[in-house]
Structure 1
Amino acid sequence: MEKLQLGYVKGYDIMTKICVLTTVHHAYDGRIYHKQCKSLKNAGYDVTLLAPKPDREIANDDIKLVPIEKPKKEWKRFLRAFTVFQMAKKTNADLYHFHDPELLPVGVLLRIFTKKPVIFDVHEHYPNAIMSKKYLKKWIKHPVRLVYELIEKISLPILSGVIYTTEEVGERYQRYTSCKIENYPLPDMFPPIKSGSKEEDYILYLGGITPIRGIEELVVGFAHAVKLKPEAKLVFVGSFESTAFEKKIHELVFENGLKDKVLFKGKVPYEKIEEHLAKASIGIIPYLPVPNHLVCLPNKLFEYMAAGVAVIASDFPHYRKVVESSNSGLMINPERPQSIAKAILTLLEDPEQVRVLGESGKGAFAEKYNWDIEEKKLLAFYKKLLK
């Protein structure tokens, strides 16, 4: 019955068409494809995804993928707006849902020329994120931020709705038709923990490897800890921001005698991350206190909890709120390697505490931090806009 209410246009026997757009994220991004697109498809919508062409395509999901050529330079993404608009308009969708801030002009054009509902999906606090962009020169960051804020201010009254994450990010969008939908993990990806599957000395870092995520401080902190716990290992699952930073981190690993203690697995498909989480006992989030980190919640926090992994996280107010309320981990000062080392040693020396924290976090995930709950919000928001 829900499918009939949500996925079909009243009075017609054709499915409601949805066009989802991203020029930045991977076609099979966890949030966009595995959660939102699949939820919409399961609810009865006809879903088309415009996204960068992947190395391989997933078959049999019945979600149409229209590949977009991804520019090699980030700033060139803005130049493809009109082409993306034309591609999206050709889908003749009943609702358009875009995920990148540079697509704001595309969203406005779609709203004006198609008269159909258009949703802007906000993944982070973009003005703050601009101030952390390494490819932007320091002197130009403030002007770029002001220009973005102006474009957003002009665009939002024209668009139909905004989806955002966290209360802090959402403060910017309260005056518009909006909905808070968190990027919580999929329950089906995280089966019950098998007895003996966890390796007591396995510490996992999951996600992109960049300077502002505290990687240098993490390596130095781990080097201090491993002197007292030589059996420990630190595993990175994710890709480096640049070859220069990759070289820097490998040199740091070598200088600290960690060659056999720190492992780099590279980036893995979203559906494969559970294989690494299943082995880990401890998961770490050492993000530095840059503006965007202070208002956003990282996906990996909830993925650690979903997999029953004890968490070590930067001591930011909104991180602390989740970790303490769920009793799932310890807080650190990410700028002090000694603080990181102390937390690592505290858990490595107490496997029972690690087990309790992991089970408590998994319980909180099952109760309130999972995608099944957020999916209902997404479908209700679509139903509201399509009326």
Structure 2
Amino acid sequence: MILYKNFISDTRVQREAISLAQNGYEIEVINCKDPKDNNRVINNDKRIKNSEIMEVQPKKRETVKSLLKFWFLAFHYLIKETPPPDVIHAHDLTGLPPAVLYKILFPKVKLIYDSHELFPEAAKDKLNKFYWLCFLFLEFICSKFITILIGASPLQLKILKRRIKKPQFCILNVPDLDFIKKDFDYENLKFHPLSPNKEKLFKIIYSGGVYTHRGYDEFILSAVRILERNHNFEFWIVGGGNYLNNIKEMVKKHKISNHFIFTGAVPYCELLKLTYNCDIAVGLYEDTANNNIMISNKIFEYMLVGIPFLFTNLKSSQRYIKMVKAIEIDFPLDPEKIGEKILYLANNEKTQYEISKRSKSIIMEKLNWKNESVKLIEAYLEALK
């Protein structure tokens, strides 16, 4: 596997590596080392080798220079591999070029492209059209050498099908219940609400990467509206990102710092515990192409712990919002309406309970990694036949 980020921080790649190892495959993950993760262990399975070929801080990883360096080091590492790999599993477009170069030299190797998002569209949303065209061209060149395509969303694969005419498998980024239960007793969680609303400090959580396309400005402004009516609210922002300092300044500007808690990024199971111990979760996303196509991990995390939630009515998320009858937030994002919907849910314990119960039931029965991992093994069998 080739991953241009830290293996320890990517739960999807960990799930896939563990599943493949459990099915008899020897896995090596070529990835980056985060200086902050020196003491964290991924898995005790000896069939999974974590090869950190380059140390880089998350912020510097976003530079072109860092990406080119990783491609060179990954290709050089692959060339020295003995015995040579049967399959190269490239995660995202940033992991694909060294795999393609290796396949050009050794055509018999099978190449699986695991696209976690529509990378060209994401570059267009976050950067500009020039980067979109560059990544689109790179994807076009690399697509000629792909054996199997894996996507994380049906809408994503529908678009990629026009660009990459290879066998496709859709593998949702859902929780691995067996892996989680070692550190998080999700099976014995109570349904929300956890305690009566009367005279209670209501905790609202928004977790994940803190970036401009995730509606944090509107979240802060909705908090201002809520606190004008009721001071008994506390807002948790759990995650890191390049927009975090802007959000902190915005909170200070509106003089509501004593109602906000910023934890930064936390390990996955700790994130689940924090989420469960809050009362309402929020998922806000801007109306961009990539957001509407890709399914946010947040929706599955919120469903797993059974927390009542509000979520932006993205095309990719509509199905899951309707499954549990969560509170929908329409475009354009309006802080006044978001605040009203948070207050509505906070004051309706019956709705909280129904969302909580439906969410946990669907995750336990259907939307879990045990079901999705079957498709991963099928993809490998297809590649190797």
Instruction: Specify the TM-score bucket, using the shorter chain as the normaliser.
Output: 0.7 to 0.9
Relative to structure 1, the CA distance from residue 195 to residue 166 in structure 2 (aligned partners, 3 Å threshold; closer, same or farther) is: closer
CA distance in 2, matches of 1:70, 1:171: 36
Counterpart position of 1:36:
16
1:145 matched to 2:132: yes
2:283 — aligned with what? 285
After superposition, residues 310-349 of structure 1 pair within 5 angstroms as 310-333=308-331, 335-349=333-347
1:198 equivalent to 2:194? Answer yes
Give the conservation status (yes or no) of the 8 Å contact 1:328–1:360: no
Alignment-derived partner of residue 355 in structure 2: 357
Counterpart mapping for 1:158-197 below 5 A: 158-174=145-161, 175-188=165-178, 189=180, 190-194=186-190
Q: Structure 2: any 5+ residue segments left out of the alignment?
A: 181-185
Equivalent of residue 89 in structure 2, options 93, 97, 114: 97
Question: How far apart are 1:26 and its partner, in Å?
Answer: 4.3
Q: Which runs of 4+ in 1 moved over 4 A?
A: none
- The alignment status of 1:80 with 2:70, answered yes or no, reads yes
CA displacement 1:83-105 (0-9 Å, x = unmatched): 21121343322211111313332
1:22 aligns with 2:3: yes
Equivalent of residue 122 in structure 1, options 101, 107, 115: 115
Q: What displacement does 1:334 show?
A: 5.7
Indicate whether 1:55 and 2:76 are aligned: no
Q: Deviations over 1:154-185 (max 9, x none)?
A: 22121111111112211233321211111011
Per the TM alignment, residue 143 of structure 1 is displaced from its structure 2 partner at its CA by 2.8
| Contact 1:157-1:176 at 8 Å conserved across structures | no
- Kept in 1, the 8 Å contact 2:220–2:251? The answer is yes
Quote how far apart the aligned CAs of 1:38 are. Answer: 0.9
The answer on whether the counterparts of 1:315 and 1:331 sit within 8 Å (CA) in structure 2 is: yes
- Counterpart amino acid of residue 88 in structure 1: L
Residue deviations 1:19-50 (CA, integer Å, cap 9, x gap): x11123443411111x1111111112111111
Q: What CA distance in whole angstroms lies between the structure 1 residues aligned with 2:39 and 2:112?
A: 28
> Who is 1:296 aligned against?
294
**Higher mean C-alpha deviation, range 216-225 or range 68-77:** 68-77
Deviation string for 1:282-327 (max 9, x for gaps)?
1111111122111111101110001101121112223222101232
Pairwise mapping of residues 252-267 of structure 1 onto structure 2 (< 5 A)?
252-267=250-265
Q: Distance in 2 between matches of 1:157 and 1:306?
A: 38
> Using a 3 Å threshold, how does the CA distance of structure 1 residues 118 and 155 change in structure 2: closer, same or farther?
same
Confirm or deny: 8 A CA contact 1:78 1:102 kept in the other structure: no
Q: Give the letter for the 1:240 counterpart.
A: G
Give distance in 1, aligned partners of 2:142 and 2:257.
50
Does the 8 Å contact 1:29/1:270 carry over to 2? no
Cα 1:70–1:292 shift into 2, 3 Å: farther
Higher mean alpha-carbon deviation, 322-331 vs 193-202, is at 193-202
Task: Mark the CA change 1:177 to 1:157 in structure 2 (over 3 Å): closer, same or farther.
Answer: farther
2: CA distance, partners of 1:70 / 1:145: 27
Residue 208 of structure 1 aligns to a residue whose secondary structure is coil
Letter in 1 for 2:131: V
Matched residue of 1:209: which SS?
Answer: coil
* Structure 1 counterpart SS, 2:293: coil
Letter matched to residue 340 of structure 2: K
Shift of 1:208: 0.7
Q: Matches of residues 230-269 of structure 1 in structure 2 within 5 Å? A: 230-241=231-242, 245-269=243-267
* Matched residue type, 1:170: L
**Residues 332, 343 of structure 1: 8 Å contact kept:** no
Where 1:23 maps in the other structure, the secondary structure is strand
Quickly say closer, same or farther: Cα 1:121–1:66, change in 2 above 3 A: same
Q: Please say if residues 7 and 29 of structure 2, whose CA atoms lie closer than 8 Å, have aligned partners that are also in contact.
A: no
Distance in 2, Cα, partners of 1:327 & 1:194: 19
Contact 1:85 1:109 in 2 (8 A): yes
Distance 1:224 1:116 in 2: 57
Q: Report percent identity of matched pairs.
A: 25
| Per-residue Cα deviation, 1:351-382 (whole angstroms, up to 9, x for no partner) | 22112111111112222221111101001111
Aligned-partner Cα distance in 2 for 1:23–1:181: 20
Q: Aligned pairs, how many?
A: 358
User: Normalising by the residue count of structure 2, what TM-score does the alignment of the two structures yield?
Assistant: 0.87
CA distance in 2, matches of 1:113, 1:27: 30
Kindly report the root-mean-square deviation, in angstroms, between the aligned alpha carbons of the 2 structures. Answer: 2.0
Q: Cα 1:318–1:164, aligned 2, differ >3 Å: closer, same or farther?
A: same
What is the distance in 2 between the residues matched to 1:197 and 1:329?
Answer: 15
For residues 241 and 191 of structure 2, the distance between their equivalents in structure 1, rounded to whole angstroms, comes to 33
Deviates more, 1:152-161 or 1:63-72: 63-72
Question: Letter of the aligned partner of 1:68 in structure 2?
Answer: I
| 3-state SS of 1:132 partner | helix
TM-score (norm 1): 0.87
